[in-house]
Amino acid sequence: MTAGDAKVVRTMCPMNCHPTFCGMLVEVEGGKLNTISGDKDNPDSQGFLCVRGRSTNEIFGNPKRLLYPPNS
């Protein structure tokens, strides 16, 4: 995939806050997450995506997110 080529990936919400794992459609372009939406074809969540799931891009894309534990 080259920069400028958008690809939609079917996946599951990583937040695990709902009784079922919510199905997600994630658009990726140039290795970066663009958009997230609920997967209407997922038999469990049927397009539902909780607030945490919809916020995944903000959480994982936050430049202040800790990637490694701080040194003590």
Q: Tens digits of per-residue pLDDT, 4-37?
A: 689 999 999 888 776 778 899 999 998 888 999 9
Which is higher by pLDDT, 27 or 60? 27
Q: State pTM to two decimals.
A: 0.72
Structure tokens at 44: 């469990």
Given a cut of 80, is residue 2 above it in pLDDT?
no
At residue 59, the pLDDT reads: 85
Q: Are 34 and 28 in contact (CB under 8 A)?
A: yes
Given a cut of 80, is residue 49 above it in pLDDT?
yes
